[in-house]
Amino acid sequence: MFGKRMVLHSAGVLSAAELGCLVKEEDVVRHESFTAEWRDLSLSTRPEEGTDFEMALAGGALPSGQCRDKRAVSEITKELPPVVQPSRPDFGKGDFPRSLSRSLSQEAQRG
């Protein structure tokens, strides 16, 4: 079993690539042979136009790298609902006493 790879270049830039496999088996004693070939992966790219600094800034970033609509954390937390502590943080099995839950499971086993 061996892999077959084909890479095409266009003016130094990768434009397409294929990854495939070819399998050949021969059994001389039984006079049998098997051949299979398939394509596992096909990739292709297209060239992109370059961008300059002015075009990058048109997306909304300031030259300093800060966000235009930057807000203080205290302003954001004012809009959030208050944090409530859970009433029962132990997350136990439930309201059943241990002896009752044990007796219920024993009754279930007895049928």
pLDDT in tens, the chain (111 residues): 445 555 555 556 667 777 888 889 999 999 999 999 887 777 777 766 777 777 666 665 666 767 777 788 888 888 888 888 777 666 655 555 555 555 666 767 776
Task: Say if CB 36 and CB 48 are below 8 A apart.
Answer: no
Residue 46's contacts (CB-CB under 8 Å, 6 or more residues apart) are 15
CA-to-CA separations, 12 to 8, 52, 76, in angstroms, rounded = 10, 22, 49
Residue 36 lies in a domain: yes
User: How many domains in the chain?
Assistant: 1
Q: Which domain holds residue 33?
A: 1-71
Residue 14 lies in a domain: yes
Residue 98 lies in a domain: no
Residue 2 lies in a domain: yes
| Two tokens, residue 2 | 């061996």
Which pLDDT value is given to residue 29?
92
What does DSSP say about strands 2-10 and 13-27: parallel, antiparallel, or unpaired? antiparallel
Residue 86 lies in a domain: no
Residue 64 lies in a domain: yes
Residue 53 lies in a domain: yes
Residue 60 lies in a domain: yes
pTM above 0.75, yes or no: no
CB atoms within 10 A of CB 17: 15
